[in-house]
Amino acid sequence: VASGRKIFGMSLGELVTEFINWRAEDVDAGNIIKGRLVTIKSQCRHVLNFKSESLKINELDRHSFYDYEVWRKNNFIGTQSVTVKNEQATINQIIDYAYRKGYAHFAKFEFRKTTIKKDKIGRRSVFSLEEYDKLVRFLRSYSSKKQCADEALRNERLMIRDAVLIASNSMLRVGELWQLKWSDIVAIETRYDEQENAVNLVTINVRAETCKTRTSREVVCRGGEYVERLKKRTKYTDANDYIFA
């Protein structure tokens, strides 16, 4: 009270806002990447959908989020258990923050036990070869002059097409892809495969600060021609310019 802080009258919405601002400081300090903060913000929106943002913190107890998994799966069809598990971890980070600040009288919520099968952990839907071929054919039409007469819009579509193709060949995460700079392109060189066909290989440096695992790595992959044609179409080609700009 002496320091002017709201304690007993603080709402869940105010707590979530303060928590997000606190985590934003971790981005500035290099502890987490911007993509992680975006995920945290998304998770917090679900928190405020489950419980009203006007709900007072002193009305919460350890079992206030006990049925969160059931609510999440019933209201957002297709939500995976591993997703809920990650969201529950963030929810407990929020209440732990509140406890350390003196806003809450407990530091952890109790949740229903969640069982995650080993074959469900980290699984992602992938394109079949037929689906990928269909996607590439569509992108060719999608970015053609016939389908897009406006030059500015077509240039944007061409960038989207090359982003998909570079991602497909490099397996970079989306956040890593968007934060690529021209200085991250180490080299583009032509090699020949076993059938003596020319292959344009590109070497990409993925910086630690853009990587989810906070570890830098070097990727060598096909698709050098996509990077080269991107550079020909853009006016942002300085070393510190973003490739997708």
Interatomic CA distance for residues 188 and 159, integer angstroms: 19
The confidence score (pLDDT) of residue 50 equals 97
pLDDT in tens, 153-173: 999 999 999 999 999 999 999
Distance of CA 7 to the CA centre of its chain: 33
Interatomic CA distance for residues 33 and 28, integer angstroms: 9
Enter the tokens of residue 175: 């956040």
Instruction: Using pLDDT thresholds of 50, 70 and 90, give the confidence band for residue 209.
Output: confident
Q: Is the pLDDT of residue 35 over 90?
A: no
pTM of the model: 0.64
Residue 186 main-chain phi, psi, to 5 deg: -75, -45
pLDDT in tens, 84-125: 999 999 999 999 999 999 899 999 999 998 777 666 555 567
Instruction: Using pLDDT thresholds of 50, 70 and 90, give the confidence band for residue 31.
Output: confident
Distance of CA 114 to the CA centre of its chain: 24
Interatomic CA distance for residues 94 and 71, integer angstroms: 19
Burial of 213 per CB tally in 10 Å (0-12, 13-18, 19+):
exposed
Enter the tokens of residue 33: 């990447």
Residue 198 main-chain phi, psi, to 5 deg: -70, 135
CA distances from 122 to 20, 23, 55, 116 (A): 26, 24, 34, 11
Enter the tokens of residue 212: 């989810």
